[in-house]
Structure 1
Amino acid sequence: MRFGIATFVNDDAIDTVSLARAVEERGFTSLSIAEHTHIPASRETPYPGGGELPSVYYRTLDPFVTLAAAAAVTSSIELVTGIALLIQRDPIITAKEAASIDLISGGRFVFGVGAGWNIEEMRDHGTDPATRGALLDERIEAIIALWTTEPAEYHGRHVDFEPSYARPKPVRTPHPPVFIGGNSKATVTRIARHRAGWLSNPLPIDVIRSRVEQLADRAEHAVPLRMFAAPDDLGYLREVAGLGFEEAQLLLPTRSRDDSLRILDGLAESVARFG
């Protein structure tokens, strides 16, 4: 199992260039960046983790800008949206942003996507929470069409555009890997539909095992498995590896530059002990 780094990049923490270089220098395989466009002051939607919404959610940089900066100062790590809230994004612009990062990085972009959980946030983007699943499906399909065909067109209920030329195309063929976040039967269906991978959260092992079994039953492809924000817990990580995960993206708390570098050193030592 490979080990990457997952984090929330904030405007008052380690800078992106220092972070990306440090992740690559310590031998990690990826940098995965969380997204929230904004946090509405209303807290109608409860935080899934329980309690107050952590402060890191309020100050996140745009993941595509962040990954582009990381691409310019690295040469080997994969650059992952973990996850891009695609129901809040224009698919044509997102396709161009993602393909641009893939081109700049020489084919190192990985497209993690999901529907999100913050109802107020998605409503501010004009998204109806009741149809966000269908919207996500169509936007994934539309982006893949823009990446892989020219001229590209897509005609759905929520996304509709006539034949169009869209450049650049991604470097990686047929297109960058798509990983879908979430933990539900709908997530399993979506992964199977799009022949995607699963970008799991660090759920209890029994829950993960159940989802992996469902994916094996439903999907007609071998589903790649990765985990966002995995804990620094060797016992847990060994169980995750035993379930077939190809990568665990270890959680890097959002801290100052010096604190982040020190934590990364500790995570690298844990990976060495994992063996």
Structure 2
Amino acid sequence: MRFGINLPNFGAGIGPDTLRGWATTAERLGYHLLTVSDHIALTPDADRRSPAPFYDSFTTLAWLAGQTSTIELGTSVAIAPQRHPLHLARITASLDRLSGGRLVLGVGVGWARQAFQALGVPYHRRGALTDEYLAALRVLWTEEIASFHGDTVHFDHVHTDPRPARSPHPPIWVGGNSRAAVRRAALYGDAWHPLWPQGPELAPALKVLAEDAAAAGRATPAFCPTIPLALTARPLPDRSRRLGQGSIEQLHADLVTLEKLGAQYVGLNPDVGDQRLRRPAEADWGIFEQLAHSVINTSSESLR
């Protein structure tokens, strides 16, 4: 099992020095993946959860690629229906090529309704648009001259070079916990990427994921969740907590659970949604260093 960090690319105290510090610290400590959040239009609904300054996800990843050498870089998650697939394909292929094949593209449908209104994208069609854009993206990544005709997107004879460094394309991690997200991951994804899942929901959802993939004639996508890193001095009641919340012992137990469910990557998110609880970056780095010594750089057997 591999481990990632979802660094906060927004909010008070975030800037070039902090972002660089997150990336170099994560790579030095042996974490495998660094992800950032995504918003294009920081409307009031989005700003309440992820306040300004908000650094653009792909620009940030491109810059961090030059500050690092081995750690994978990803989005958790890019709002797919807010970007035309021709634009998204160009950005991602260029970033994967320039980073030496280190891009992981996490995608989701988005939730901030006001942002969709600001961008002129129909909120009620965001799921259908995401499905079509993912289909178009695969064509653009794998064909030298691409054509595509869908319900919304139409293009012919588009030259695609540079194509991604990874073959046949960077991994697509489909985010979301809903039934529709599981279906989307089975049809279009290389991984299902639930965000802040609750333990009891995972085994049934993974069974459905496998069934949907088999029905579509595809291999079952990988399981790559992100959980909050919300450590407490004392254990929390299991009935009222999510995975990743509670004592260090509870976190260890949660990682064992995820490993038994087949998780290939587990992302840890230090931003728990309430900006009043944000710690200085240096404090977070200390926590991740402690985890690196006790969990990340040890064998899977040590989790048991």
TM-score, normalization: structure 2? Answer: 0.81
Distance in 1 between residues matched to 2:208 and 2:106, nearest whole Å:
20
Deviation at 1:24, TM superposition (A): 0.4
> Residues 17, 141 of structure 1: CA spacing in aligned structure 2 closer, same or farther, 3 A cutoff?
same
1:243 matched to which residue of 2?
261
Please state how far the C-alpha of 1:206 moved relative to its aligned partner: 0.8
Q: Distance in 1 between matches of 2:286 and 2:33?
A: 18
Instruction: Letter of the 1:36 partner, please give it.
Output: H
Q: CA shift at 1:250, angstroms?
A: 1.1
Distance (Å, rounded) in 2 between the aligned partners of 1:37 and 1:109: 19
The alignment status of 1:2 with 2:2, answered yes or no, reads yes
Aligned length: 266
C-alpha separation between the residues in 1 aligned to 2:294 and 2:6? 15
Out of 142, 157, 164, the residue aligned to residue 151 of structure 2 is 157
Q: Tell whether the 8 Å contact from 2:197 to 2:225 is kept in structure 1 after alignment.
A: no
Please state whether the residue corresponding to 1:15 is helix, strand or coil. Answer: helix
> How far apart, in 2, do the equivalents of 1:108 and 1:169 lie?
13
Q: What does residue 27 of structure 1 align with? A: 30
Where do residues 97-176 of structure 1 align in structure 2 (5 Å cutoff)? 97-176=91-170
State the 1:70 CA deviation: 1.5
Counterparts of 2:74 and 2:152, CA distance in 1: 26
SS in 1 for 2:30: coil
Shift of 1:258: 2.4
1:203 & 1:180 partners in 2: Cα distance? 14
- Asked whether the 8 Å contact 2:38–2:57 carries over to 1, the reply is yes
Distance 2:120 2:279 in 1: 33
Q: CA deviation at 1:195?
A: 4.4
Tell me how far 1:227 sits from its aligned partner.
1.3
Which segments of 5 or more consecutive residues in structure 2 lack a partner in the other structure? 230-243, 245-250, 272-277
The aligned counterpart of 1:262 is 286
The answer to whether the Cα contact below 8 Å between 2:186 and 2:212 also exists between their aligned partners in 1 is yes
Contact 1:4 1:248 in 2 (8 A): yes
2:263 partner amino acid: F
CA distance in 2: counterparts of 1:89 and 1:168, whole angstroms: 19
Instruction: Determine if contact 1:229/1:252 at 8 Å carries over to the other structure.
Output: no
How far off is 1:160 after superposition?
Answer: 1.2
Distance 2:8 2:285 in 1: 15
Q: 1:99 Cα deviation (Å)?
A: 0.9
Q: Deviations over 1:123-145 (max 9, x none)?
A: 21111112111100111111211
* Aligned-residue RMSD, C-alpha: 2.0
Distance (Å, rounded) in 1 between the aligned partners of 2:114 and 2:135: 25
* Distance in 2 of aligned mates of 1:217 and 1:58: 41
Counterpart residue type for residue 24 of structure 1? E
Letter paired with 1:114: G
**Residue in 1 that maps onto 2:205:** 211
Letter in 1 for 2:292: A
% identical aligned pairs: 32
Per the normalisation by structure 1, the TM-score is 0.89
1:261 to partner: Cα distance = 2.4
* Higher relative contact order, chain-length normalized (CA < 8 Å, sep 6+): 1
Structure whose CA Rg is larger: 2
- Structure 1 residues not aligned, in runs of 5+: none
SS at match of 1:162: strand
